[in-house]
């Protein structure tokens, strides 16, 4: 029998397991970035060409249809989602789904800020609402992959090809990791600090022709801040989708994103990225299945994320403890691992049930997850001795 109290000798080569900003791609270094655009105007030919190149590479790697627009927008994925909600909702009834922190936030926006009286479908952490109950004559806002719960929608089969409303998907921890049926989605948003490990603060919004039609035919009843405005004189502001950003972007962050996209292309594109995520998640799952003190927060493998799997203590391991005591265990365990340099940032999200979250996105190596798991057992054994 393995003695887990014995300190492991092998550490992950890269102990960064944060769920955002995430680990940089293997082989990354700042010296490898193209820096010719730095110190230049983002409105000038050099800066604009790099922004447009980032958009073109995004389309290629994500396999976005040619007639969909892709724009770089402010304020990360949050900015992209709220830009879509403020610009598009209100034209028809809406449904907002929430089963984790970010989806619940979009519910708050729709109910308390936009006050559009949406239909709300919720599920507890670790579960998914009944997607068959979604009225697809409504506009629908949902997270494709719940980063803070580890719950994803299993596929796009539940979305009708002829849905009447707009499908607005917050896909920040799903893009580049899970297959997205763009033909069924009208708005897709993400931030590049997730699966590709880019620098934070910038978002991407992808619009279908139906979403563009809505933008050009509908004016919201509420004021739109400048950073949310996607139209000009009643028409789509096409410049945004050709490299002209609404506000000043970080060209250093853009170059970092371009490097990650080129890394992904050299790797083999979308299929290779998804394969890496699946391998990482499977490596973690192998350990969970044989470990008696931990288990998946998401019991159903069909809806379990391959990028942000969330773990909880088994009932047997924490019998009689309340959430406050469990949270203290999480803090102690994560602190031990950080002090050892074996794992950084693996505590679960503050809004989630107390537990762990190990990022398994494409920039993580499966060998590092395999090296992490003995340290998890060791840290648990140390806690039990106290």
Record the tokens describing residue 14, joined without a space: 């890269």
Question: Residues 28-68: pLDDT tens digits?
Answer: 999 999 999 999 999 999 999 999 999 999 999 999 999 99
Q: What are the beta bridge partners of residue 167?
A: 140
**Peptide bond just before 21 cis, omega within 30 deg:** yes
Helix 270-289 crosses helix 366-385 at what angle (to 10 degrees)?
30
d(CA 166, CA 325): 43
pLDDT at 2: 72
pLDDT at 386: 74
Owner of token pair 């993580």:
364
Of 210, 141, 177, 154, nearest in space to 62 by CA: 177
d(CA 103, CA 216): 27
Of 220, 117, 131, nearest in space to 169 by CA: 131
pLDDT at 199: 96
**Residue 279 C-alpha from the chain's centroid:** 18
Q: Give 385's pLDDT tier (boundaries 50, 70, 90).
A: confident
User: Domains in the chain, please, with CATH?
Assistant: 30-266 (3.40.640.10), 269-385 (3.90.1150.10)
d(CA 323, CA 330): 10
CA-based radius of gyration for the chain: 21
Say if residues 54 and 258 touch (Cβ distance below 8 Å): yes
Owner of token pair 């494409």:
362
d(CA 96, CA 88): 13
CA distances from 333 to 279, 317, 330 (A): 25, 14, 5
pLDDT at 156: 98
CA distances from 246 to 225, 229, 371 (A): 11, 8, 44
Owner of token pair 């040619």:
66
Q: How many CA atoms lie within 13 A of 261 on its CB side?
A: 23
Residue 268 has pLDDT above 70, yes or no: yes
* Number of helices (H), then strands (E), in the chain: 8, 14
- Could you report how far apart the first and last alpha carbons of the chain are, in Å? 22
Residue 1 has pLDDT above 70, yes or no: no
d(CA 107, CA 223): 19
The mean pLDDT of the chain is: 97
pLDDT at 116: 98
Question: Residues 338-369: pLDDT tens digits?
Answer: 999 999 999 999 999 999 999 999 999 999 99
d(CA 343, CA 287): 16
**Contact residues for 157 (Cβ-Cβ < 8 A; gap 6+):** none
320: number of Cβ within 10 Å: 6
Record the tokens describing residue 202, joined without a space: 């910038």
Helix 270-289 crosses helix 251-267 at what angle (to 10 degrees)?
80
Question: Residues 284-321: pLDDT tens digits?
Answer: 999 999 999 999 999 999 999 999 999 999 999 999 99
Burial class (CB in 10 A: 0-12, 13-18, 19+), 26: middle
Residue 221 has pLDDT above 90, yes or no: yes
d(CA 83, CA 73): 9
The total number of residues written for the chain in this structure: 386
Q: How many CA atoms lie within 13 A of 90 on its CB side?
A: 19
Of 20, 380, 367, 381, nearest in space to 192 by CA: 20
d(CA 280, CA 284): 6
What 8-state DSSP symbol labels residue 230? -
pLDDT at 5: 84
Q: Give 4's pLDDT tier (boundaries 50, 70, 90).
A: confident
Residue 136 has pLDDT above 70, yes or no: yes
């Amino acid at each position: 029998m393995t003695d887990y109290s014995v300190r492991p000798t092998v550490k992950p080569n890269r102990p960064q397991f944060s769920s955002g900003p995430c680990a940089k791609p293997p082989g990354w270094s700042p010296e490898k970035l193209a820096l010719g655009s730095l110190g230049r105007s983002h409105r000038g030919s050099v800066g604009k060409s790099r922004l447009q190149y980032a958009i073109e590479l995004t389309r290629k790697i994500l396999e976005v249809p040619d007639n969909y627009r892709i724009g770089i927008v402010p304020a990360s994925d949050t900015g992209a989602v709220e830009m879509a909600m403020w610009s598009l909702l209100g034209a028809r009834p809406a449904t907002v789904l929430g089963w984790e922190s970010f989806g619940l936030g979009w519910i708050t926006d729709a109910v308390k800020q936009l006050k559009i009286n949406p239909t709300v479908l919720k599920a507890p952490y670790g579960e998914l609402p009944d997607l068959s109950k979604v009225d697809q004559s409504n506009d629908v806002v949902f997270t494709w992959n719940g980063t803070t719960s580890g719950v994803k929608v299993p596929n796009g089969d539940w979305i009708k090809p002829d849905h009447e409303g707009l499908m607005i998907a917050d896909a920040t921890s799903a893009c580049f990791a899970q297959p997205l049926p763009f033909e069924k989605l009208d708005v897709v948003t993400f931030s590049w600090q997730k699966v590709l490990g880019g620098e934070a603060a910038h978002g991407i919004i992808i619009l279908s022709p139906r979403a563009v039609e809505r933008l050009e035919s509908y004016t919201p009843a509420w004021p739109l801040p400048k950073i949310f405005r996607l139209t000009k004189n009643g028409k789509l502001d096409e410049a945004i989708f050709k490299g002209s950003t609404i506000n000043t972007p970080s060209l250093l962050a853009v170059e970092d994103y371009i490097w990650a996209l080129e890394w992904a292309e050299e790797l083999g594109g979308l299929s290779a990225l998804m394969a890496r995520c699946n391998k990482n998640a499977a490596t973690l799952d192998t350990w969970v299945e044989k470990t008696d003190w931990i288990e998946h927060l998401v019991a159903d493998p069909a809806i379990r994320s391959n990028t942000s799997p969330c773990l909880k203590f088994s009932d047997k391991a924490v019998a009689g403890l309340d959430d406050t005591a469990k949270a203290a265990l999480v803090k102690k365990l994560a602190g031990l691992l950080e002090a050892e340099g074996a794992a950084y940032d693996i505590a679960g999200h503050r809004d989630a049930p107390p537990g762990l979250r190990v990022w398994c996105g494409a920039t993580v190596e499966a060998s590092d997850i395999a090296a992490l798991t003995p340290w998890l057992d060791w840290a648990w054994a140390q806690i039990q001795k106290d």
